[in-house]
A and B are shown apart, each in its own frame.
Chain A
Amino acid sequence: MNLNQSAPPVPPFGQPQPAYLGHHQSSYGGQPGSTTAPTSYGAYNGPVPGYQQTPPPGVSRAPPSSGAPPASTAQGPCGQTAYGQFGQGDVQNGPSSTVQMQRLPGYQPFGSAVLAPVVSQPAVLQPYGPPPTSAQVTAQLAGMQISGAVAPASPPSGLGYGPPTSLASASGSFPNSGLYGSYPQGQAPPLGQAQGHPGAQPPQRSVPPQASSFTPPASGGPRMPSMTGPLLPGQSFGGPPVSQPNHVSSPAPQVLPPGTQMTGPPGPPPPPMHSSQQPGYQLQQNGSYGPTRGPQSNYGSPYPGAAAFGSQPGPPQPLPPKRLDPDAIPSPIQVIEDDRNNRGSEPFVTGVRGQVPPLVTTNFLVKDQGNASPRYIRCTSYNIPCTSDMAKQAQVPLAAVIKPLARLPPEEASPYVVDHGESGPLRCNRCKAYMCPFMQFVEGGRRFQCCFCSCINDVPPQYFQHLDHTGKRVDAYDRPELSLGSYEFLATVDYCKNNKFPSPPAFIFMIDVSYNAIRSGLVRLLCEELKSLLDFLPREGGAEESAVRVGFVTYNKVLHFYNVKSSLAQPQMMVVSDVGDMFVPLLDGFLVNVNESQAVITSLLDQIPEMFADTRETETVFAPVIQAGMEALKAAECAGKLFLFHTSLPIAEAPGKLKNRDDRKLINTDKEKTLFQPQTGAYQTLAKECVAQGCCVDLFLFPNQYVDVATLSVVPQLTGGSVYKYACFQVENDQERFLSDLRRDVQKVVGFDAVMRVRTSTGIRAVDFFGAFYMSNTTDVELAGLDGDKTVTVEFKHDDRLNEESGALLQCALLYTSCAGQRRLRIHNLALNCCTQLADLYRNCETDTLINYMAKFAYRGVLNSPVKTVRDTLITQCAQILACYRKNCASPSSAGQLILPECMKLLPVYLNCVLKSDVLQPGAEVTTDDRAYVRQLVTSMDVAETNVFFYPRLLPLTKSPIENTTEPPAVRASDERLSNGDIYLLENGLNLFLWVGASVQQGVVQSLFGVSSFSQITSGLSVLPVLDNLLSKKVRGLIDSLRAQRSRYMKLIVVKQEDKLETLFKHFLVEDKSLSGGASYVDFLCHMHKEIRQLLS
């Protein structure tokens, strides 16, 4: 089980690695040509050094590794060595294959070794200590392997096998391991490391490549075995844990390159390494594992646990706490940092087909040169298998995450609007695809061939233009639709409902005025806010005044409509009690222009809180409210959006009445899915009507208890709306969050009454869609409303062969009504490569997007299947993907090695996060409503949001110098990375925690909280005091900037170490084992390895 991403050895691998390094492009170039070994190597070496360089401390390792590879006979050896190193860490197929093969034997031995009781470990460690050098990597591997291989094989055998390969890999690390070994024994050192690490780690990062840890350099075959032994003990022992934390910290630093080249570096620099080289540590651990058979046995036990993962509800795994050095396994932080460093600096130019864009976590500019920006479309893979057989084999879902109205940074221009006048946009006669840069003009420009269906169409005379010598239209660069990936057409009347140009949309505010809403102060707050907020309705372009009209409704058991016509002296209230058969009581005066009716509206908003101040009405209705809003829009013949502010379960006698069906006993039963399903079909029917009318529903919930989010969110979900939930809303605590969300929601640009259609080249077609929308047929995504945050994930399947030459094209066309009432078509085009080699597929994958798809797939799955089944499906699919890679792309190696494709090395950790999420594995404190809420939230998240949602960002605040104004580098989300002398921020897009270590310097406490000691800090504090000092300003500034990055306001919660709130916080440390039974990263990786091995055997 080599964990790491594909390693450098094999040419293909080589490529991936370089990629990480940032070199990739060049390296890729070289690698493809792998034939030229030297160059490629050079490249590799190059990168490697690079890696090493970063981690000066690690240098020692690096040298060895780097040195080693070269030393090892030309390429061949290198490859092996590399593999050895990478073996675990790097998936790199090419090299790995061979190397792995070799290693495998070595690993297997470990497996056998496992038998030895843990107890032995300590002893072993010491002995190993010496040998360990090579072992490290293997150790990790071993861990992995162990899980996979229960084989009783005797250690010796392992030795025998391993010596060559395993040794090689391990060797590099060994030194470290040895050191480590010592650490464990001497606890003091570890501690020192631990502390030191935080600081030290960063620098090291470069060094650490996880991959390396996995596959130790080829140094000594024998070492490997020994290594393993020692490592294990280390972990298992009390001592080791300490060291681990250190390690942990260190690994983070290693992050990037390490994976690939790790192998090289790790080995050599033993002693010095400690602090610097986390990889080394890992190795050690590994080594320890190996040696101590004990560990193996542990593994064995762990596996059972691992097996449990799939089903895993709660039972903690029997496994010993840690088997693998967390630093040795692929680190998201490292990957993110690498990508940021390597790709953040240059703009991403979309001209080339099938380019993998930078990660979502990287800040980069996009230059549209014919393909849609990744801000609009991201794919799971930018290289699609030509045949469905290949696709099936790989099991890699082919999906695109599309955000048609994505907001762009100010530096990037929004899509040009093309007006073709009366004739409307030019389209293919057969498949109706819109004119795009991929259309081929033929016959001197008189005709064009559709790039999607190959139909030859005439070019209308007014559109005719001559071609240049390359067959390109002369005016190609004058026309956005011929040169850009994204652009808009003005739609003609044919594209409008009832063949009438739409009227400007309307916003209707529908406010619950039952007892709860009044008492919590919500109504007063909201009315007050609306008075000013209404001046900021979305407007198009530079329009002076928003075209959006507004209307007001309040309700409890009955509905109150308000006539706010500008000619009235005071508003008129119209009560509709016939909730069973809702209708709109007035037409004129309900929807008004804000400016014209300013006075009346203000008067109304003043009076609403007064009118209901004494209400005793506790019952509410819900469906009739939506119905009313929809009818109002229908009567006004416009599309629009309803803003619903609702507090309680609608139990009043009316359609859509709900009962409290919250039942935690259903969790982990076959009936669990009912918790996610709506109680009644009435809401689907209602939603359908809403969609037909272009009525989008945004729901703000303020529940004090169960409100059945699963049912209430049906309409927002199907109409492209959003749901916001503020449990136990109190004005003092939640006002800022609510108002901020509200402002943003009201002001954001929205498209209404939209239809989205995704067209593809012949060969594949869109078969499945995920997101907040409604579909009445199998191809058209209907969205009553669509804003810049909403994302639709589309899955493609083959229905024919694709052609490598022509690639695969996607065209996403969105027909919508802008907020000024203009009917438009937004077109996004994207060209992808096609491949006949699986390796190409794996090399061009995007793990974040993959996770986005898989999460949405799973979250939809829970509606129909037991959660356990869904989890198992996910794990199986992931295992299949990796197994396929291993089988077809990775170089032969020991089955005990976990080899991950470079592009997917984070797949296990991310997948584990998905599996541990509240929806799939709820903790005791997670309510049914929370789960339903999260479920529907994720459904329309984009890649960046899912990325941080599943793997929260943990930012140390006090590690970097105060003067440093840039965002501090993140650390891995694990308890082990927290130092009690520091303060951390954790955010996942919905929550924001400020964790304060118990032994934080008093000065820091004082300057941040304005109190003199840790104990005086109020736990659960949600606002930091405004203090005039650098640290306070910096932290508050950082919090603000984090909030600005997310589509929803994150409420801050200050958590003190050892405080009871800490449990809540720890829930987000996703690399750790969770209280609800979620596996730790390491455990999960082992489990995954076992699954893969099962598939392979």
Chain B
Amino acid sequence: MATYLEFIQQNEERDGVRFSWNVWPSSRLEATRMVVPLACILTPLKERPDLPPVQYEPVLCSRPTCKAILNPLCQVDYRAKLWACNFCFQRNQFPPAYAGISEVNQPAELMPQFSTVEYVIQRGAQSPLIFLYVVDTCLEEDDLQALKESLQMSLSLLPPDAMVGLITFGRMVQVHELSCEGISKSYVFRGTKDLTAKQIQDMLGLTKPAMPVHPAHPAQPQEHPSISSRFLQPIHKIDMNLTDLLGELQRDPWPVPQGKRPLRSTGVALSIAVGLLEGTFPNTGARIMLFVGGPPTQGPGMVVGDELKVPIRSWHDIEKDNARFMKKATKHYEMLANRAAANGHCVDIYACALDQTGLLEMKCCTNLTGGHMVMGDSFNTSLFKQTFQRIFSKDFNGNFRMAFGATLEVKTSRELKVAGAIGPCVSLNVKGPCVSENELGVGGTSQWKICGLDPTSTLGIYFEVVNQHNAPIPQGGRGAIQFVTHYQHSSTQRRIRATTIARNWADAQSQLKHIEAAFDQEAAAVLMARLGVFRAESEEGPDVLRWLDRQLIRLCQKFGQYTKEDPSSFRLSDSFSLYPQFMFHLRRSPFLQVFNNSPDESSYYRHHFARQDLTQSLIMIQPILYSYSFHGPPESKR
């Protein structure tokens, strides 16, 4: 561990965590003077081929408000079979199963190299993966054809016991029943009418305790685990059926007069998808995959009218407050996103059209639920096809690289509190002793829900040092943070991944050099960028830029070496040297600049920026220019 660089890299590889500061200022006051907040980039499910999950459940601290997981930082009394929680200092008995432990016979979670441990929970019913396709049929013929093929292809990628459902929409919304023989059956909804979840479930016949279907044939017991829905069926049962159904999908038959957009009821379709899953598989991992070929043009969630002569809103319109439907539509999709998130369902949006498709309004669906957002020109492009295929890529174990219904919990030692998180998550509103009153990003909670995530999904977590200046931390004291992620693995197992990290405290006045040296400028840049982008969602662009500038100035002021009135004398240490440059690129990145971007594009960029890991994020901030030659490997250039 020669350098901080190596330390940081090692930490990242092992725990998926990078902190802006790797030595922490020991008081609140000092921390605020550091300009860049104490925060980390966390990739909760970072792929760890070398880390086999343990097949038992974690040992929890018995204090009800703590419940931290036993970790290598805990002090253990092997003889008394006791351990002390390193967050609340509660002393706990080991459970009976740990009777045999000793210094030489330690469980994995006590070994220092296992700062990250993954547990497999055996209890509880396993629920299948659920994929609900929501398909726009207002497409050009070849687009629809390409999409149909992609969808059929995807069926072959799904595990046989995965549940699938199909909703198609255009002017109307059709929920296809997949179990019927001889005649294809679908439930149709008007595309202009917003329905409550209850209504949707009533109309789909989901609310009745016993299904009226086949009560006359009492002997069909093998059916009943998943009777709850005729609309979601295990793929192995209806593979052919669904393939045919997809094959027969027609373009929306309603005539589109000259000068009009097709009527597309995306808002209602999504609402029905959410309602359907809500009624059938609440709190179970599920993926709603929305494929749209244009903007919603009717009903709740409409983004633009059907008159072609009225163009879809631009940034200009939005600034002038001239986007008629935006607020209402956004509200609609936010409501849906929150409902989906509350049930642990994630929403993907695959939008392929030459014009905007309303991603600005719909972005919350993906952003709040951890879904994917794909933007392309046509479904008949390799961009879409390959992207879509990649959704179903598998890891070294043959499992999908996706996880569902995750809850991320953050525990901190007393000197720290959690200020918030930025990423594809929603707050679970869990107040606790470690929740800060100041919010950065989504705050006010120590737990977040991430409905869909993959090994690269990355959040920024922001902390606040709360230790008072006059209560110094003993020399060599370390602050600790534990990230606990409950999630549904793509193998349908429930798992818990616990990562516990610790950093040294340092007095910023006496040991500023240490702190300075432990600055991770790359992480800091990404974390600041996330904050900036987060602000940009709600604030005017120039304000955000000004804020960024001021932060940069203050940072330079604090850590730069210069002679007053002499610009040329300005120096920054190595650990800060790249930071201004990142900020420079960030200022002109599409995440903060909307010029020459449509609102949809901006939403799309921001969406991706808020979930990429550090390397990707940096590349996005500061694109790398590769130069290729016949004489060697590509080199990156400025």
Query: A residues engaging B (CB < 8 A)?
Result: 558, 560-561, 568-578, 581, 583, 585-589, 604, 607, 610-611, 614-617
B250 (CB) vs chain A CBs: closest residue = A588
Asked if B193 and A581 sit within 8 Å, CB to CB, the answer is yes
Chain B residue numbers with a CB within 8 Å of A561 are 188
Asked if A577 and B254 sit within 8 Å, CB to CB, the answer is no
Asked if A573 and B183 sit within 8 Å, CB to CB, the answer is yes
Point out the residue from B185, B187, B214 that lies within 8 Å of A577, measured CB to CB.
B187
Write out, one digit per residue, whether chain B residues 182-218 have a CB within 8 A of any chain A CB (1) or not (0): 1111111110010100000011110000001111110
Asked if A615 and B212 sit within 8 Å, CB to CB, the answer is yes
Distance in angstroms from B502 CB to nearest chain A CB is 57
Given known pairs A558-B203, A586-B253, A589-B253, the reply for A571 and B193 (CB within 8 Å) is no
Asked if A617 and B212 sit within 8 Å, CB to CB, the answer is yes
Distance in angstroms from A549 CB to nearest chain B CB is 15
Chain A residue numbers with a CB within 8 Å of B189 are 576-578
Chain A residue numbers with a CB within 8 Å of B186 are 572-575
B254 (CB) vs chain A CBs: closest residue = A587
Query: Which 10 residue pairs across A and B have the least CB separation, nearest first?
Result: A577-B203, A585-B188, A588-B253, A614-B216, A573-B185, A575-B187, A574-B188, A572-B184, A583-B190, A576-B188
Chain B residue numbers with a CB within 8 Å of A583 are 172, 190
Distance in angstroms from B189 CB to nearest chain A CB is 6
State the CA gap A575–B204 with chains docked (Å): 9
User: Is residue B50 contacting chain A, with contact meaning CB distance below 8 A?
Assistant: no
B213 (CB) vs chain A CBs: closest residue = A614
User: Is residue B174 contacting chain A, with contact meaning CB distance below 8 A?
Assistant: yes
Asked if B172 and A614 sit within 8 Å, CB to CB, the answer is no
State the CA gap A604–B213 with chains docked (Å): 19
Distance in angstroms from B262 CB to nearest chain A CB is 13
A610 (CB) vs chain B CBs: closest residue = B182
Distance in angstroms from B208 CB to nearest chain A CB is 10
Query: B residues engaging A (CB < 8 A)?
Result: 172, 174, 177, 180, 182-190, 193, 195, 202-205, 212-217, 248, 250, 253-255
State the CA gap A588–B216 with chains docked (Å): 35
State the CA gap A610–B185 with chains docked (Å): 14
Chain B residue numbers with a CB within 8 Å of A577 are 187, 189, 202-205
Given known pairs A568-B248, A574-B174, A587-B253, the reply for A607 and B190 (CB within 8 Å) is no
Point out the residue from A570, A586, A614 that lies within 8 Å of B183, measured CB to CB.
A570
> Besides A585-B188, A586-B188, 20 other CB < 8 A contacts?
A558-B205, A560-B185, A570-B182, A572-B183, A573-B183, A573-B186, A575-B187, A576-B187, A576-B188, A576-B189, A577-B187, A577-B203, A577-B205, A578-B189, A578-B193, A578-B195, A581-B193, A585-B172, A585-B174, A611-B182
State the CA gap A561–B183 with chains docked (Å): 12
Chain A residue numbers with a CB within 8 Å of B205 are 558, 577
Asked if B185 and A575 sit within 8 Å, CB to CB, the answer is yes
Distance in angstroms from B280 CB to nearest chain A CB is 16
Chain B residue numbers with a CB within 8 Å of A587 are 253-255
Point out the residue from A560, A581, A588, A604 that lies within 8 Å of B190, measured CB to CB.
A581
Chain B residue numbers with a CB within 8 Å of A607 are 182-183
State the CA gap A617–B255 with chains docked (Å): 36
Distance in angstroms from B222 CB to nearest chain A CB is 18
Chain A residue numbers with a CB within 8 Å of B182 are 570, 607, 610-611
Chain A residue numbers with a CB within 8 Å of B203 are 558, 577-578
Chain B residue numbers with a CB within 8 Å of A558 are 203, 205
Chain A residue numbers with a CB within 8 Å of B212 are 615-617
Given known pairs A575-B186, A575-B187, the reply for A614 and B217 (CB within 8 Å) is yes
State the CA gap A578–B216 with chains docked (Å): 27
Distance in angstroms from B251 CB to nearest chain A CB is 10
A588 (CB) vs chain B CBs: closest residue = B253
State the CA gap A616–B209 with chains docked (Å): 14
B215 (CB) vs chain A CBs: closest residue = A616
B217 (CB) vs chain A CBs: closest residue = A614
Distance in angstroms from A116 CB to nearest chain B CB is 77
State the CA gap A573–B183 with chains docked (Å): 7
Chain B residue numbers with a CB within 8 Å of A569 are 248
Chain B residue numbers with a CB within 8 Å of A585 are 172, 174, 188
Distance in angstroms from B161 CB to nearest chain A CB is 27
Asked if A578 and B190 sit within 8 Å, CB to CB, the answer is yes
Chain A residue numbers with a CB within 8 Å of B255 are 587
State the CA gap A610–B183 with chains docked (Å): 11
B186 (CB) vs chain A CBs: closest residue = A574
Point out the residue from A573, A610, A614, A617 that lies within 8 Å of B214, measured CB to CB.
A614
State the CA gap A585–B195 with chains docked (Å): 17
A577 (CB) vs chain B CBs: closest residue = B203
Distance in angstroms from B230 CB to nearest chain A CB is 11
Point out the residue from B174, B177, B195, B215 that lies within 8 Å of A614, measured CB to CB.
B215
A557 (CB) vs chain B CBs: closest residue = B205
A586 (CB) vs chain B CBs: closest residue = B253
B253 (CB) vs chain A CBs: closest residue = A588
A613 (CB) vs chain B CBs: closest residue = B216
- Sample 13 A-B pairs with CB under 8 A, ordered by A number: A572-B185, A573-B183, A573-B184, A575-B177, A577-B189, A577-B205, A578-B195, A581-B190, A583-B172, A585-B188, A586-B253, A614-B213, A615-B212
Chain A residue numbers with a CB within 8 Å of B172 are 583, 585-586
Interface centre among A571, A581, A585, A588 (most CB of B within 10 A): A585
State the CA gap A610–B214 with chains docked (Å): 12
Distance in angstroms from A1067 CB to nearest chain B CB is 43
Distance in angstroms from B238 CB to nearest chain A CB is 15
Given known pairs A614-B216, A615-B212, A616-B215, the reply for A575 and B188 (CB within 8 Å) is yes
Given known pairs A558-B203, A587-B253, the reply for A570 and B184 (CB within 8 Å) is yes
Chain B residue numbers with a CB within 8 Å of A588 are 250, 253
Chain A residue numbers with a CB within 8 Å of B177 are 575
Chain A residue numbers with a CB within 8 Å of B250 are 588
A574 (CB) vs chain B CBs: closest residue = B188
A576 (CB) vs chain B CBs: closest residue = B188
State the CA gap A577–B208 with chains docked (Å): 14
Given known pairs A576-B188, A587-B253, A589-B253, the reply for A571 and B174 (CB within 8 Å) is no
State the CA gap A1051–B150 with chains docked (Å): 61
Chain A residue numbers with a CB within 8 Å of B184 are 570, 572-573
Asked if A604 and B174 sit within 8 Å, CB to CB, the answer is no
Chain A residue numbers with a CB within 8 Å of B180 are 573, 611
Chain A residue numbers with a CB within 8 Å of B254 are 587
Distance in angstroms from A269 CB to nearest chain B CB is 78
State the CA gap A573–B214 with chains docked (Å): 18
State the CA gap A611–B179 with chains docked (Å): 12
Chain A residue numbers with a CB within 8 Å of B185 are 560, 572-575
State the CA gap A785–B450 with chains docked (Å): 60
State the CA gap A888–B120 with chains docked (Å): 110
Distance in angstroms from A617 CB to nearest chain B CB is 6
Chain A residue numbers with a CB within 8 Å of B204 are 577
A560 (CB) vs chain B CBs: closest residue = B185
Chain B residue numbers with a CB within 8 Å of A589 are 253
State the CA gap A578–B255 with chains docked (Å): 23
State the CA gap A575–B272 with chains docked (Å): 14
Chain B residue numbers with a CB within 8 Å of A576 are 187-189
State the CA gap A586–B250 with chains docked (Å): 12
Distance in angstroms from B437 CB to nearest chain A CB is 47
Chain B residue numbers with a CB within 8 Å of A617 are 212
Distance in angstroms from B585 CB to nearest chain A CB is 52
Chain B residue numbers with a CB within 8 Å of A581 are 190, 193
Interface centre among A570, A575, A589 (most CB of B within 10 A): A575
Chain A residue numbers with a CB within 8 Å of B187 are 574-577
B177 (CB) vs chain A CBs: closest residue = A575
Chain A residue numbers with a CB within 8 Å of B190 are 578, 581, 583
A572 (CB) vs chain B CBs: closest residue = B184
Interface centre among A569, A574, A581, A589 (most CB of B within 10 A): A574
Distance in angstroms from A560 CB to nearest chain B CB is 8
State the CA gap A568–B248 with chains docked (Å): 8
A570 (CB) vs chain B CBs: closest residue = B183
Chain B residue numbers with a CB within 8 Å of A604 are 183
State the CA gap A497–B202 with chains docked (Å): 40
